[in-house]
Structure 1
């Protein structure tokens, strides 16, 4: 045995540190969860492993369906040259679980712990404080919906319902419950009915620090109770995810670099990427690459890498725009190849197709796939809305943006960029102007957004401000010229593109 943790069986070698499965000299490509499944079963040969154990140790307690587990087992068998009929390595034990053949093991000296880099959260049953026991079904329904929707977010590990509901009415401290469930965060809340109104209160707690990170309440009419259940759930979930990610980013900043994991690097990359500054975008790319060095199968890191190249190309922050677009496409495709079920990878690939190939419908299809995977996710809805402004559907984009902003009250500055762009495309210049001109101070290096602001000033007849903004475009990116806007800026509608170019020229861009 080497110093690394390796399990050998038949002619296979499973390297747990490198996360590689080799058969002889040939490497076998595996999705991350399939690798974790094989690793857990092979590390416990001869033991019957239940589906609940797989959910706990392979999926980190996150809710998954029986079909998802069966699909992963089938993929594992296929990778090992096994089958559901033959079952020479992974055997199904009816009504009990799965067992890895202990006779096949040749060498094993490991202590396996499946990595849980991502933040974990448990949603405790919301309290019914109405004094009406019949309302418990509604409080449980809200809790169930939050758990279900949170579990769609791949950046979180969400504890299954049966585990968190075991603490209904518990007098244990938040810290004690969190340790019992092995989670980083707890969500709790309450529901109160008063006359013809009801109030839902939700809280996010960091049990280790003993602090409340976020709290909000929602008041609605009782006759709307079922209609607004989905709305309340969606707003709570999107706000929770944002708060957890912000907290995790703060924690990553406090860490020593030598204990960083792939998710830490990814969080840093996300924060840097949103700032729309050339140096920050390059730093985001470096962080994404570091994430991939930790986990080459991290689909979100591949996708974020693609996004940095799109930002570079769209703002002309590089001398070779085509090379940047090619790199974006390569990274975007790698993200989907790493995990075809990762919605963020499909959402970013949608942008790649639009900017790289001017394939707008193909891009929208990728965006729709992301939304179908996680329909309540405000980020994917907003990315789709952004895409609609490229694809000649600005009226639809405004509706989608309003929905996304409602679901995520803490939306980033980019929303104003695309809201303003949609209004500009619709010739609603006076409405667009307040959205676009704020970019001059909030994102002074965002050349593409500044150029749209300049064009909008010109369309409003405010030529002095248009010329001043063009100078800001040149300062932000000397490469952002009228020729760049003509050759590369993504517009599916030729009339909209000519409209943009006309006003850019009127603003003084050459």
Structure 2
């Protein structure tokens, strides 16, 4: 299909890289060979394509009968809502071949827009450098796994395997490959297996920007080869997603106003939201709402609006905490109703149910749905663990966090908050304190987290430090009082809540 990754015609769109035919946005099920046949005809509109040419490009030169070609032509017509009598899109030219009759719409523009909406990435076949051709199955298996797991992330546009593998051992530059595949990011790697050791390297390249973003080497003993493959794949994928998101966020911040799209606004909102400051939470919500102005059905943007309201409620930044929780619920439900398959929306809705309704089991169920939809995603596992620390399941939370940190060795600072809170609930104060204390410098406006630091100091009998931290809580949020914590902090276990509140009072928090 040449260098154009997406071609639109009539109500159809062909995405060559993903091997996908859609009609009015819905995927049309077609066999791979029928898809290739449609793609080749569509990429040569108005041109008569002979049977020999079709055999050369669709059947790779293999000998096929006229009846086999006719069968595939009929299947192609059926997929396009055409038939042998109307021949509206695929016309038979007697004794010469076939001609595509449809009108192509903005082929180049569609490809550019697809790249602009989401980060587009192609994973090239990992190179087998073991010196043993038999090991190619392992390097190909590693590539397949990375593609499969990356494809679970709805925020990415991942090129299909058959398109990536078509460029095995290609001598093209990363920039040329990116243009041919219609992507910005290229992942490449290598596998060396020697005796009972295996080394996997992976690189992420911004082919448009012309720079390497991330590279890593993994050395492992081979105990169970499939276990090692799963472990390395999980780390690679979580790291790749984080690196791509950070790079794309930096790129979006450089765009002029008229070039900013829904996904750019969402990335800006996400960055602001993670800073855990009242002004930043409001700015994050503004950006997420701008994303929804561009695309009202952007489920992740709805969910992020809900998250900002939860942040305001849990930290007493909102003028009216109950109103903030009600607004969080409206946006959280909008996220899952807009796209019931979006795991991020379910993960955030889980928090909404816990903080707004104190519906802990319902909240955990929503977050389990997110993990089930993308089991290798460290973020969803950490969000579930965060909820477990409030749902009376702190021991389980530690296990879930350990798993999430193994999946993503570059985990964010909030993981320490989640971990410290679970240890505090389990009365393991000495272990909790080094984790919780980090928040004082990294997120000085995170009032609810600082309150747990103060409570932990009090539980350790370090009352002077507890009182100092309470002063930091009040500077972070004048509204975070003992009565606010009693009314709104979402503890399912009354004994755990009482433990938290008594230590907060001992630390000197009043009101």
TM-score (norm 2): 0.82
Partner SS for 2:199: strand
Q: Answer yes or no: is the 8 Å Cα contact 2:429–2:460 preserved in 1.
A: yes
1:118-267 matches, within 5 Å, as 118-267=118-267
Q: Answer yes or no: is the 8 Å Cα contact 1:121–1:184 preserved in 2.
A: yes
Counterpart residue number, 2:281: 281
Larger Rg: 2
Q: Answer yes or no: is the 8 Å Cα contact 2:14–2:20 preserved in 1.
A: no
* Residues in 2 aligned to 1:309 and 1:203: alpha-carbon distance in whole angstroms: 38
Q: How big is the shift at 1:206?
A: 1.2
* Residues in 2 aligned to 1:341 and 1:501: alpha-carbon distance in whole angstroms: 38
* Residues in 1 aligned to 2:504 and 2:145: alpha-carbon distance in whole angstroms: 48
Q: Answer yes or no: is the 8 Å Cα contact 1:50–1:98 preserved in 2.
A: no
Q: 50-59 or 159-168: which moved more?
A: 50-59
Structure 2 unaligned blocks of 5 or more: 1-5, 33-72, 89-102
* Residues in 1 aligned to 2:165 and 2:124: alpha-carbon distance in whole angstroms: 6
Partner SS for 1:138: helix
* Residues in 2 aligned to 1:248 and 1:236: alpha-carbon distance in whole angstroms: 18
Q: How big is the shift at 1:195?
A: 2.6
Partner SS for 2:223: helix
Whether 2:66 is the aligned partner of 1:98: answer no
CA RMSD of aligned residues (A): 2.6
- After superposition, the Cα gap between the structure-2 partners of 1:53 and 1:158, relative to the gap in structure 1 and judged at 3 Å, is closer
- After superposition, the Cα gap between the structure-2 partners of 1:503 and 1:66, relative to the gap in structure 1 and judged at 3 Å, is farther
* Residues in 2 aligned to 1:419 and 1:366: alpha-carbon distance in whole angstroms: 21
- After superposition, the Cα gap between the structure-2 partners of 1:277 and 1:65, relative to the gap in structure 1 and judged at 3 Å, is farther
Q: How big is the shift at 1:223?
A: 3.4
- After superposition, the Cα gap between the structure-2 partners of 1:427 and 1:97, relative to the gap in structure 1 and judged at 3 Å, is farther
1:51-450 matches, within 5 Å, as 55-56=19-20, 58=22, 94=75, 98-100=79-81, 111=106, 113=110, 115-116=113-114, 117-450=117-450
- After superposition, the Cα gap between the structure-2 partners of 1:124 and 1:97, relative to the gap in structure 1 and judged at 3 Å, is farther
* Residues in 1 aligned to 2:130 and 2:176: alpha-carbon distance in whole angstroms: 27
- After superposition, the Cα gap between the structure-2 partners of 1:441 and 1:58, relative to the gap in structure 1 and judged at 3 Å, is farther
Q: How big is the shift at 1:209?
A: 2.7
Structure 1 unaligned blocks of 5 or more: 1-36, 70-91
* Residues in 2 aligned to 1:406 and 1:428: alpha-carbon distance in whole angstroms: 22
Q: 250-259 or 50-59: which moved more?
A: 50-59
Q: Answer yes or no: is the 8 Å Cα contact 2:130–2:191 preserved in 1.
A: yes
Q: Answer yes or no: is the 8 Å Cα contact 1:43–1:110 preserved in 2.
A: no
* Deviation by residue 1:68-98 (Cα, 9 ceiling, x = unmatched): x9xxxxxxxxxxxxxxxxxxxxxx9646652
Q: How big is the shift at 1:54?
A: 8.2
Q: 275-284 or 190-199: which moved more?
A: 190-199
Q: How big is the shift at 1:176?
A: 1.1
- After superposition, the Cα gap between the structure-2 partners of 1:508 and 1:176, relative to the gap in structure 1 and judged at 3 Å, is same
Q: How big is the shift at 1:224?
A: 3.0
Q: How big is the shift at 1:198?
A: 1.1
* Residues in 2 aligned to 1:352 and 1:371: alpha-carbon distance in whole angstroms: 17
* Residues in 2 aligned to 1:125 and 1:390: alpha-carbon distance in whole angstroms: 44
Q: How big is the shift at 1:53?
A: 8.8
Q: How big is the shift at 1:111?
A: 4.2
* Residues in 2 aligned to 1:453 and 1:201: alpha-carbon distance in whole angstroms: 40
Counterpart residue number, 2:11: 43
How many pairs does the alignment contain? 440
- After superposition, the Cα gap between the structure-2 partners of 1:358 and 1:169, relative to the gap in structure 1 and judged at 3 Å, is same
Q: How big is the shift at 1:319?
A: 2.1
* Deviation by residue 1:339-380 (Cα, 9 ceiling, x = unmatched): 000000000000000000000000011000001111101111
Q: How big is the shift at 1:169?
A: 0.9
* Residues in 1 aligned to 2:485 and 2:470: alpha-carbon distance in whole angstroms: 13
* Residues in 1 aligned to 2:508 and 2:14: alpha-carbon distance in whole angstroms: 68
Q: How big is the shift at 1:51?
A: 8.9
* Residues in 1 aligned to 2:240 and 2:28: alpha-carbon distance in whole angstroms: 23
* Residues in 2 aligned to 1:103 and 1:447: alpha-carbon distance in whole angstroms: 67
Q: How big is the shift at 1:210?
A: 2.4
Partner SS for 1:212: strand
TM-score (norm 1): 0.82
Q: How big is the shift at 1:482?
A: 0.7
- After superposition, the Cα gap between the structure-2 partners of 1:118 and 1:51, relative to the gap in structure 1 and judged at 3 Å, is closer
Partner SS for 1:445: coil
* Deviation by residue 1:435-478 (Cα, 9 ceiling, x = unmatched): 11121111111000000000000000000010111111111111
Partner SS for 1:203: strand
Q: How big is the shift at 1:221?
A: 1.6
Q: 111-120 or 360-369: which moved more?
A: 111-120
* Residues in 2 aligned to 1:204 and 1:469: alpha-carbon distance in whole angstroms: 42
- After superposition, the Cα gap between the structure-2 partners of 1:159 and 1:487, relative to the gap in structure 1 and judged at 3 Å, is same
Partner SS for 1:190: strand
Partner SS for 1:167: coil
